[in-house]
């Protein structure tokens, strides 16, 4: 396969002031920065030639130094349930995966924040091989554009994203600065115009970063991946728990709720005969009782090369019933995209 490597930076890597400075230096009006961003963010333009209300000279000058989108779609898979998965190649030929989940009028982009992941959750494909690097602000933002554009053959009739879940490859809070810059533009009226309340950021639990996120002042939804009701078991499933512990993670989550007023979701991947027993459900109920929280149960999605399996239907039903009997809010996540390895825990670094 021919290399898709590009040495030109994507235009979205420049902040608005940086783009305005570039325009001034080339004899252009700084307000054209907004015009350029609108073409990419709203118009679906993937080449400067498409930006027909710009002068030919400006389009040629831009094309000599930049590319509208620096990522390249290497593979586009579509599931029977309407889920799209993109394999994207970055400027340095690293690969990431992103997913578009469609459910009625709801169109959710599941995006990555790192090439790989360093958290080491034992059931997750994203962490196989560890982490290579953080994604840039532009690389995070471009996933939203690529996913939106992928669902329509005509950029002029592209769908509108309604929700963002930062649940793809990587630990989002380990790349918090770049992520927040990307989300600020995604939720700006001059960006993609999504509601900040429709953005969910998932983390294995980095207490200091959770507190930083709370101070950011945006009403993003926080999802904490617990996967176990006690430290002994959690450290076996989520190795980074040795450095944090459930008590500190829950304390930070409580602070997040008190500062933002947003209910925290606690995610729990059920691994057959490992963390899905009745005793685990009772322990989890005890752990979360009294908190303004919601529990999202996720039956394990199979990953090639890993030895884990899904819980039985009976075990899943018992686990859910125990939590509900204790007065907790709980639901089982819908399984979408599993046939194209696009479900929770299945995104991974691949070779092409």
Catalytic residue IDs: 97, 344
Enumerate residues 6+ apart whose C-beta is below 8 A from 103. 334, 336
DSSP per-residue string spanning 275-306 = T-SHHHHHHHHHHHTTSSEEEEEEEPPP-TT-
329 strand-pairing partners: 294
DSSP per-residue string spanning 5-55 = ---SPBGGGS-HHHHHHHHHHTT--TTHHHHHHHHHHTT---SGGG-TTS-
How far is Cα 68 from Cα 44, in angstroms, rounded to an integer?
10
116 strand-pairing partners: 131
Query: For residue 52, which of 36, 30, 64 has the smallest C-alpha distance?
Result: 36
DSSP per-residue string spanning 172-213 = GGGGHHHHHHHHHHHTSTTTT---GGGEEEEES--HHHHHHH
How far is Cα 191 from Cα 41, in angstroms, rounded to an integer?
6
What are the φ/ψ torsions at residue 212 (nearest 5 degrees)? Answer: -65, -40
**Kind of pairing, strands 221-225 and 199-203?**
parallel
Contact present, 121 and 227 (Cβ < 8 Å) = yes
Report CA torsion sign: 240, 134, 264, 147.
negative
Enumerate residues 6+ apart whose C-beta is below 8 A from 160. 107, 148
């Amino acid at each position: 396969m021919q290399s898709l490597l590009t040495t030109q930076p994507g235009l979205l890597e420049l902040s608005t002031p940086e783009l305005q400075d570039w325009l001034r230096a080339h004899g252009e009006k700084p307000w054209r920065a907004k015009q350029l961003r609108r073409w990419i963010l709203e118009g679906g333009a993937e080449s400067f030639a498409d930006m027909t209300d710009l002068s030919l000279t400006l389009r040629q000058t831009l094309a000599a130094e930049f590319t509208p989108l620096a990522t390249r779609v290497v593979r586009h898979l579509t599931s029977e349930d309407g889920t799209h998965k993109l394999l994207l190649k970055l400027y340095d030929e690293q690969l990431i995966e992103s997913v578009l989940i469609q459910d009625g009028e709801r169109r959710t982009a599941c995006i990555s924040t790192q090439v790989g992941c360093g958290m080491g959750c034992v059931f997750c494909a994203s962490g196989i091989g560890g982490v290579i690097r953080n994604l840039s602000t532009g690389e995070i933002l471009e996933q939203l554009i690529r996913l939106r554009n992928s669902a329509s053959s005509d950029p002029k009739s592209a769908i509108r994203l309604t929700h963002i879940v930062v649940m793809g490859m990587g630990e989002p809070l380990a790349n918090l600065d770049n992520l927040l810059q990307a989300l600020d533009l995604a939720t700006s009226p001059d960006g993609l115009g999504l509601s900040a309340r429709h953005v969910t950021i998932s983390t294995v639990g980095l207490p200091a970063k959770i507190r930083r996120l709370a101070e950011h002042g945006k009403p993003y939804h926080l999802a904490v991946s617990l996967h176990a009701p006690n430290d002994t078991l959690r450290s076996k499933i989520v190795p980074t728990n040795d450095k944090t512990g459930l008590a500190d993670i829950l304390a930070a989550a409580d602070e997040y709720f008190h500062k933002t007023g947003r209910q925290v979701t606690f995610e729990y991947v059920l691994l057959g005969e490992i963390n899905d027993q009745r005793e685990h459900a009772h322990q989890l109920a005890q752990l979360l009782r009294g908190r303004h929280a919601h529990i999202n149960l996720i039956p394990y999605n199979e990953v090639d090369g890993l030895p884990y399996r899904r819980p039985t239907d009976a075990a899943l039903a018992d686990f859910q019933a125990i939590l509900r009997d204790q007065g907790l809010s709980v639901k089982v996540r819908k399984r979408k995209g599993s046939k194209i390895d696009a479900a929770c825990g299945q995104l991974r670094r691949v070779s092409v």
